[in-house]
Structure 1
Amino acid sequence: MTAYPKTTALMRRGAEFLGTEYAIMCGAMSWVSERNLVSAISNAGGFGVIACGAMTPDLLDAEIAGTKALTDKPFGVNLITMHPMLFELIEVCGKHGVGHVVLAGGIPPKGSVEAIKSFGAKVVVFAPTLALAKKLLRSGGDALVIEGMEAGGHIGPVSTSVLAQEFLPALSEEHLVFVAGGIGRGEAMAGYLEMGAVGVQLGTRFACAVESIAHENFKKAFFRAGARDAVASVQVDPRLPVIPVRALKNKGTELFTAKQREVAKTLDEGAIEMAEAQLQIEHYWAGALRRAVIDGDIENGSLMAGQSVGMVKEEEPVAQIMDTLMAESEAALSRR
């Protein structure tokens, strides 16, 4: 018997798909979602996801192996669709028998979904519109994550609550839909499950867990922050299709604006192609995030955080966070 029967019943399809006790995924946060946090989440009954980000195939190979040494539970790997070595990264996932690959950052390139399915893995996709969601699910996506603009990191323009109302009635009967963005407590989780979601994804809530390797300065910045401190980046040049990023406002936010101007200037001069320009922006974020997460430079680094950051007040073990979310959800459902 489960301690959380009502929540577990609503999560059943999602948990079966992930192979976990709870259908709670951890969002892939570059530098944060590595072997220690990923294995802790999977060991606590959730579903950890390695953030490949800008890793090379060799680095991903080592990270997957390191994670497998810490857990025998299922976990996934998040791959960025614009990564220049995407197919080599998919091969690494296949070599290790990774069961779930999450494709983020754009429409999966031709052949990528088939390459993942060739070794028996499930494909999880993101979609900002209902039409694209249906297309990706028809094209081989096994599950969908809808992520609202309250989330940390790369975001779309629509709130989680609106996306849930639009997507879930249309998709939830036939497809597996996970909801993400701004979820910090179990009551919100319960609401989306009742609307038809099979599970949820949280990032910010786990970023400062005891098992997170994030620098002490990074965690303290989260503990001090409120929802209004997590702001979206501004697009400087309309020709440069930069996906907005939500992070705590600091000097690093201003540095990114300057970086956009620099890249736009090289575009003007014809020195680089658009694809290279976008890649330069992604590499900037990877470096800025590393400065904050690993080096503890919270002034110049990127403090990617969702608006739920105001609910993160202290370091807690992952297992405790998981139990709190499930207990809050169960209490909410029991009051119905």
Structure 2
Amino acid sequence: MVELNRARAEAALAGLWADGCRFLGTRTAILGGAMSWVSERHLVAAISNAGGFGVIACGAMSPDRLAEEITATRALTDAPFGVNLITMHPDLDHLVRVCLEHEVGHVVLAGGVPAGATIKALRDGGVRTMGFAPALALGKRLVRLGIEALIIEGSEAGGHVGPVSLNVLAQEILPHLRDVPIFVAGGLARGDAILSYLEMGASGAQLGTLFAASQESIAHDNFKTAFLRANARDAVTSVQLDERFPVIPVRGLTNNGTRRFLAHQAEILRRFQEGEVSREDAQLEIEHFWAGSLRRAVIDGDIENGSVMAGQSVGMVKEVKPVTQIINDLVDEAIQSLMQRKAG
């Protein structure tokens, strides 16, 4: 009877994320979030080899560097993977050509509303396109522009985030946008939580924090240890002191760097008010504070002064696991949840 119940639960889960799996070409509809310095060849290939969908974080890569990373990833996996491109990248058109030349199957367009011409160039080249929808109206607009799948990412996520939680975004978007597969993201660390969103109409889920702390992640041991020690409340968004000098919200672990950033803003504000710096120069000094800080934390292991980007799900990271175990655990948690219901 237990085996029968499990088989039924497995079939139910397969049905719930069937659209996501078909779109990605994978066994599970679990995407790896594109994290700069972390989502490189080793982690991306590990996620794809484990039945998920790895995504290269292009970030500020040059076209040649991206081409190198795609080739290196393909040497590590025969499974599907994608590339995340930032729409504000000054060499976006060239990066698109690199993806087309290397026959990348999927591209995630992030960091702003992509141009219709960019979407068309990718689709004409046979690439499947994904985009981020922080609101229902924008999701509908992206679909009209030709985006084939959406990611709705809540403010619980790590790194650059919007102001709305996944719980609210899911209620706003999932019941009303059924034309394309939608993947949920932000604060996810358990399979039963993913299951709840699948039952609301999602086609899959994107996770970052769990994978950043995996065995295959190239992140420094100090970075991973910081995740193991952190609670959910330790992952906070950057604070803006004055509305005249906007600060892009970034969620990460509080440390000496975040405290210094507040003092830095206060000092710049004082200098601006006393006429020592122009508004433009003051804004640049604020923005430049974190330059190179993510690399310092991820690669160099400076978790006190670097930017330790992490989602609120960091409080559920209790050990450094292989990617295969992470994905298998997520699937098993969803299946166990379904089995318990049927048993009840």
TM-score by length of 2: 0.90
Gaps of 5+ in 2: 1-6
Deviations 1:180-229 (A, max 9, x none): 00001011000000000000000001111110000000000000000000
Q: Say if 1:305 and 1:115 are closer, same or farther in 2 by CA, change over 3 A.
A: same
Q: Distance in 1 between matches of 2:315 and 2:126?
A: 40
Pair 1:289 & 2:270 matched: no
How many correspondences in the alignment? 330
SS in 2 for 1:335: helix
Alignment gaps of 5+ in structure 1? none
Letter of the 1:101 partner, please give it.
V
2:278 matched to which residue of 1?
269
Query: CA deviation digits over 1:28-87, x for unaligned, max 9?
Result: 011010000000000000000001111111111111111011001110111111111111
Cα distance change of structure 1 residues 181 and 313 upon mapping to structure 2, 3 Å threshold: same
CA distance in 2, matches of 1:293, 1:183: 21
Checking the alignment, whether the CA contact within 8 Å between 1:2 and 1:8 is kept in structure 2 is: no
Q: Deviations over 1:147-195 (max 9, x none)?
A: 0011000111111111111100001x32211000000101100000000
Quote the offset at 1:269 in angstroms.
2.9
Indicate the structure (1 or 2) with the bigger Cα radius of gyration: 2
Amino acid in the other structure paired with 1:70: L
Q: Quickly say closer, same or farther: Cα 1:140–1:208, change in 2 above 3 A.
A: same
Give the % identical residues: 61
User: Which residue in 2 is equivalent to 1:28?
Assistant: 34
- TM-align CA RMSD: 2.4
Distance 1:197 1:254, change over 3 A: same
CA displacement, residues 3-28 of structure 1 (integer Å, 9 cap, x when unaligned): 83221211100000001110000100
Q: Compared with structure 1, are the counterparts of its residues 94 and 284 closer, same or farther at alpha carbon in structure 2 (3 Å cutoff)?
A: farther
Question: Quick check: 1:146–1:163 contact (8 Å CA) kept in 2?
Answer: yes
Matched with 1:42 is: 48
The question of whether the paired residues in 2 share the 8 Å contact of 1:42 and 1:75 is answered with: yes
Distance 1:176 1:109 in 2: 20
Give 2:57's match in structure 1, choosing from 51, 54, 69: 51
Q: Is the 8 A contact 1:54 1:286 kept in 2?
A: no
Distance 1:113 1:300, change over 3 A: same
What is the letter of the counterpart of residue 51 of structure 2?
A: G
Aligned counterpart in structure 1 of residue 310 of structure 2, from 305, 310, 332: 305
Q: Distance in 2 between matches of 1:97 and 1:191?
A: 34
SS at match of 1:4: helix
Residue range with higher mean Cα deviation, 249-258 or 212-221 = 249-258
Find the aligned partners of 2:319 and 2:87 in 1 and give their Cα distance.
Answer: 34
Structure-2 residue corresponding to 1:167 = 173
Per the TM alignment, residue 236 of structure 1 is displaced from its structure 2 partner at its CA by 3.5
Shift of 1:257: 4.3
Relative distance call for 1:263 and 1:213 in structure 2 (3 A) is farther
Superposed displacement of residue 335, structure 1:
2.4
